Structure 1
């Protein structure tokens, strides 16, 4: 029975072949309208203003972070936000205390030595003064009472005593100046040691840093690790470790790769859309473009220009620094120009060509193009009918 059915089926006449229906090409039209070219950049939000929390000056070059407030948490004014390990500084503090004691002892020793030296030279001066006075008394004896030789010897003794006295006086003055200079050196050394000790004491007291005002904590990027600061990192005086941003004024920051240099300009309009809220957009304006391209990452071959976009408005509730944002920058803005569908244009030709209804190709001069349309500078008129190149270029 099954064989009979199979034979009956095979014996039926085959249906005639019908080719698939060919969809006619859609007729397209040159129209007049506005044209806007856009470049899409990827960036993130950042605060226009922020309170920076920096590592204070302390004794030594660097010290480790012992505790750090979590990134993104809110803090009150005066709350502890960072603590620096004080072990290294404590050791330095003891060294500087010892330096102060040593400098003080040196100053005292120099002062005593100066006193002894000046007293010795003062005593020598008094001896020379007494000797001069004695010589002058002996020289005052009338010449008639002694031989002329004795009288001349006494006169010569006066001159010698006066020279010795002047010499002792000059030596005393020189010693006073020298000892004062030595004492000044010791005094400066002592003052410097005390200053360094006070600096170390202040550093030790300032290693627990508090928030200057209430706000949101943002941990800063480590300058050479390619990540944010974290507990255990070695930091140095003057380094910015934390920031408290002002959420009332935000801006967008993006990277323009060097291959696109010149594609956008300062003053260009932009539309910023947060990835977290794709249904909400904010108008913006390109305010700065860095003059020098920098590496996107350490040892990277890619380089980019830093672009800043000022936002027309800020939403402190939804917007947070670091949120990713898509930035559409207007690169071309033309009004009332001829626009032709891109599918009817062969831009690779020399010159570019447009395909009219019927298949004829005409040379055209093109302006900028988008994914859908091209600006036609010449070669076509408003209302002309075109056909798509989807079937191939003849």
Structure 2
């Protein structure tokens, strides 16, 4: 009888323990189901971004980059793109420009020589005309008819020669001016080409204006990090130097989880580098238009910005990754 009574009193106790354990498991399971983790990357509000330059071809090669993570100072060379073809063109332009300048000097000397000769011919023609006028002015009574007629003919010839010499001088001046002007235009064209190519070559060398660590960009197609020797298309983002102020966590939220976010919502942010030291952050920017992230598929994602207090003792750097945890649409 006592044994049966003992068994009867134990059954309610066991049942209560089982029910309590089941409730705890259910609560834990519900909590896990309601938890939403959003991962992102630390970004800087003010950063210097380097893009691949324009090129005559559809691609450009990265010749050299400062090792990722190294701190660049203003004026340091950060990215250099391959410019062998442009350098070769510059050498050809320099040779052509030197030849054109030599040709200009030759044309100037040639023109001056032609003008001097034409001026001398005109002066001689004018002197011969003056002499012919004197001879032709002698009356018939003082010379023979033959000499008189000859003097008149020489006068006419002298007048014609003067007109020819004058026309030759004008032609020499015009020819010299045209040849010199044509050569000056050619020199100007070569100088413009040389300047443009030098600027293009200079654009292939990118220098830092900010001080900070350099971060390589991801390949827009494959998502892998770009590197020295990689080939890029004009306009691609190659690298950036973020500022050490204005840091925030940028995350891309799936359209399913978007409804759990509210602007100015406070959350606990845990950085992967400081997992034991969560910090408080606030959702300060939430896009209203979804975007496709090709590397993640065809689903839509919303850009979210979580700002945090930078005065904390943690050494937070751009490029670090972290996560925020949402629960039931509210912050943890």
TM-score of the pair, normalised by structure 2:
0.62
SS at match of 1:178: helix
Residue 45 of structure 1 deviates from its aligned partner by 1.6
Query: Residue 215 of structure 2 is aligned with which of 215, 218, 224?
Result: 218
How far apart, in 2, do the equivalents of 1:181 and 1:274 lie?
72
Residue 250 of structure 1 deviates from its aligned partner by 0.5
Q: Which residue number in structure 2 is paired with residue 269 of structure 1? A: 265
> Measured at CA, do residues 176 and 280 of structure 1 come closer, stay the same or move farther in structure 2, by a change above 3 Å?
same
How far apart, in 1, do the equivalents of 2:211 and 2:231 lie?
26
Matched, 1:106 2:103: yes
Q: Which residue number in structure 2 is paired with residue 253 of structure 1? A: 250
State which structure, 1 or 2, has the greater radius of gyration over its C-alpha atoms: 1
Residue 320 of structure 1 deviates from its aligned partner by 2.6
Matched, 1:296 2:296: no
Matched, 1:183 2:183: yes
Query: Residue 321 of structure 1 is aligned with which of 314, 318, 331?
Result: 318
How far apart, in 2, do the equivalents of 1:70 and 1:49 lie?
21
Contact 1:59 1:199 (8 Å CA) reproduced: no
| Structure with more strand by fraction | 1
Contact 2:64 2:81 (8 Å CA) reproduced: yes
Contact 1:39 1:329 (8 Å CA) reproduced: yes
Matched, 1:282 2:247: no
Matched, 1:70 2:99: no
Q: Which residue number in structure 2 is paired with residue 354 of structure 1? A: none
Contact 1:44 1:252 (8 Å CA) reproduced: yes
Q: What does 1:1-394 align with in structure 2 at a 5 Å threshold? A: 41-52=38-49, 64-74=61-71, 81-82=78-79, 91-92=88-89, 94-141=91-138, 160-161=160-161, 163-189=163-189, 191-192=191-192, 195=195, 203=202, 214-223=211-220, 226-234=223-231, 241-257=238-254, 268-271=264-267, 273-276=269-272, 277=275, 280-287=278-285, 289=287, 293-297=290-294, 300-313=297-310, 315=312, 317-327=314-324
How far apart, in 2, do the equivalents of 1:162 and 1:322 lie?
87
User: Once the two structures are superposed, what CA deviation does each residue of 1:81-116 show, in whole Å capped at 9, x if it has no partner?
Assistant: 555557556545543443344334433443444344
> Measured at CA, do residues 314 and 142 of structure 1 come closer, stay the same or move farther in structure 2, by a change above 3 Å?
farther
SS at match of 1:280: strand
Residues paired across the two proteins, number: 296
How far apart, in 2, do the equivalents of 1:60 and 1:133 lie?
71
> Measured at CA, do residues 174 and 111 of structure 1 come closer, stay the same or move farther in structure 2, by a change above 3 Å?
closer
SS at match of 2:229: coil
Contact 1:247 1:316 (8 Å CA) reproduced: no
User: Once the two structures are superposed, what CA deviation does each residue of 1:191-233 show, in whole Å capped at 9, x if it has no partner?
Assistant: 4476468668x849x85x7765653231223455533220211
How far apart, in 2, do the equivalents of 1:186 and 1:57 lie?
26
User: Once the two structures are superposed, what CA deviation does each residue of 1:307-359 show, in whole Å capped at 9, x if it has no partner?
Assistant: 434435464734232333445789xxxxxxxxxxxxxxxxxxxxxxxxxxxxx
How far apart, in 1, do the equivalents of 2:229 and 2:237 lie?
16
TM-score of the pair, normalised by structure 1:
0.54
Q: Which runs of 5+ in 2 are unaligned?
A: 1-14, 24-34
How far apart, in 2, do the equivalents of 1:83 and 1:371 lie?
47
